[in-house]
């Protein structure tokens, strides 16, 4: 009788450990899938940027430095995406992607400021279409990034709870996944400076 009780207890423990393992795998797969979705949106944006630059070149002959900076930042962001795509759970790769994206957003911001000085460019049909597609893609990137960060948070939260924290390292889930953050949080929280 005691052997039967021991076997039942061991079976319950084994099922419990199996359920923890399965949930860890499910949550890891969800955050990797969420990264795949954001990767699609990044690639779309990276493909649109050369079209924007080519359209702007005809009007902005004296702004080649700004246009070259946009292309260089795009290439840096693409390299970060490739590194992160190879291993979406690697904090360094996600950090490289975030750094590339920050550089790209800065270069695109400078390009938008320069474009304000060229009303003919802003009125160009091709430029308006590419700009609209980029805006739409930016919205998709933001949504995909939020979904990715939510999936990463769910994964990290589950594996840090008790009792999964006991088994996570043994099952190859020891390292936390990294959130994809582009901005400096201290800069975001600072009040904007307005001067008249």
Tens of pLDDT along 46-83?
Answer: 999 998 888 888 778 778 888 999 999 999 999 999 99
Q: Using CA atoms, how far apart are residues 81 and 69, in angstroms rounded to an integer?
A: 18
Please identify, in words, the CATH class of the domain defined by 31-163+170-180.
Answer: mainly alpha
pLDDT tens, 58-68?
A: 778 778 888 99
pLDDT tens, 176-185?
A: 999 998 765 4
Tell me the pLDDT of the chain averaged across its residues.
88
Nearest to 89 by CA among 23, 148, 7: 148
pLDDT tens, 111-157?
A: 888 888 888 887 788 888 888 999 899 999 999 999 999 999 999 99
């Amino acid at each position: 009788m005691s052997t039967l009780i021991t076997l039942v207890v061991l079976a319950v423990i084994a099922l419990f450990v199996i359920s923890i393992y399965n949930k860890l795998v499910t949550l890891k797969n969800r955050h990797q899938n969420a990264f795949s979705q954001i990767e699609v949106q990044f690639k779309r944006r990276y493909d649109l940027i050369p079209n924007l630059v080519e359209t702007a070149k005809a009007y902005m002959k004296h702004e080649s430095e700004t246009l070259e900076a946009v292309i260089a930042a795009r290439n840096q962001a693409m390299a970060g995406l490739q590194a992160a795509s190879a291993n979406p759970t690697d904090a360094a790769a996600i950090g490289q992607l975030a750094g590339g994206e920050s550089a790209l957003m800065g270069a695109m911001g400078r390009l938008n400021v320069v474009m304000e000085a060229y009303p003919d460019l802003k009125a160009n049909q091709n430029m308006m279409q590419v700009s609209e597609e980029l805006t739409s893609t930016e919205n998709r990137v933001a949504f995909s990034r939020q979904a990715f960060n939510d999936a990463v948070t769910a994964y990290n939260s589950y594996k840090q709870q008790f009792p999964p924290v006991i088994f996570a390292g043994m099952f190859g889930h020891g390292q936390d996944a990294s959130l994809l953050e582009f901005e400096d949080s201290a800069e975001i929280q600072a009040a904007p400076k307005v001067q008249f």
